[in-house]
Structure 1
């Protein structure tokens, strides 16, 4: 019997400095995204708001409610603001996502390893309590490899696809086209091998300096087939002075750019959050392109 899918994109995490969630909400609204209320995570250290898409994925806009102490064990506590992490859809714990990936990695010899699932949650603004299971790679690989979020309460509590106005964006964004990871050139092969173990599929493209995988199958969605595109995960070796500075001194390996499918090609090629790169991909163009 086939194991659980480990390549369904669930959400992408965007961090802003402590106490600035409302500023992040305004910034994303200015980019043409509809932002929905989130809530406060268990323990009260972090809170979020959401940008939900018709393909069932979403962006998590997150901040720390106060500056975290130097010894805070949260893997996001000392990340630079911007795109910091991404999650794939997990399950309720049976079979174990971590166990599935670790068995593959042992067979592949890739060196990927995930910790056993731990419970997390948050309280929505309306008081509803959400619960989930998280399985993640070591802290140093967070944002370079995905973590997994498996719902113990209904996913629609966590991802408000209704009312449909939540997934209507004035920039015409309909879903995620690609997530582009940037990494030091010397780490490309090792990281590609780990991602192959995590995803459970081989890359559909491998050219000098870049490896790419199709993600999916798609999540449930509020609209029938809002886009036929499948998100792409791209792993690219940094090149040039700016990118090398990005991965070696500014941010470290991880998400460099997120592409969004838009139905209005007049949006242009790209934009920026206050801390991260955004690319608009015309609906109907090849998924993951930047046209």
Structure 2
């Protein structure tokens, strides 16, 4: 991990926020999760979160299957995925009925992989092992949302932010959320590239001047001068970030970058709820 060096020719300021940092630990403890929610950290890393043999089992099953892409009109360069993402089914600030029908197919194809365990359940259990009440998949209108997707952003993700409060009208989940995280578990990483870059900058109205046409992303000039963290992926490592900070993924070089991912909401009740 590096902090404060220029990326893509954009130089940050010399000032440093001591709370804008990535913590590394052997587990997602209660204090680390609470600290991420409170803003004491920007990211938490847990190396060896999933044993290598389990990562290899999931990866081998996925490599034998064809991946789809997120909607190409909105996501360029293309990002491949296995499973259903809710972002492709947004409709007037809500969720299209097409999401629920697509989700049935998603569950069937994941069950069809023939894995010896449920990788998303394993991720939820590891994430919530030290959190009261653990972690559960969120619901909308009483219906359970997707539990996760496998993503392959070999050409990278544009600079963007994720914030359900701004992306959806009203509450996305049946339980209002007061904090939001993004979870990734790396199954395959390239020898170079594929870094997650996180900037100490949250959305402001004037940032819309930098939004790319018909895209989810922004021109990187939107974060010019902002302090940042650059985090290289490692097989078996879990990364939890505050996605309300602008962030991006750099293009991979030399191998596929495949990760399991889902969003996590801290509900007003104190529960941790996921969706994808």
TM-score past 0.5 threshold: no
- Give the TM interval when normalised to the shorter protein: under 0.3
TM-score in terms of structure 1 length: 0.26
